[in-house]
Amino acid sequence: MSSIFDEYQEGAKKARGRHTAKFWRHADREHYICPRCGRGGDEVESFEVHHVDGDPYNGDMNNLRGLCRECHYRVHDRDPPKSLEDWKQEFRGLSENDSA
pLDDT tens for each residue of 51-69: 999 999 999 999 999 999 9
Give the end-to-end CA distance of the chain in Å, rounded to a whole number. Answer: 54
pTM here is 0.72
- What are the C-alpha distances in Å from 99 to residues 22, 37, 77, 95, 96? 52, 40, 37, 6, 5
- What proportion of the chain, given as a percentage, has pLDDT over 70? 93
pLDDT, averaged across the chain = 88
pLDDT in tens, 27-36: 998 899 999 9
Which pLDDT value is given to residue 12?
87
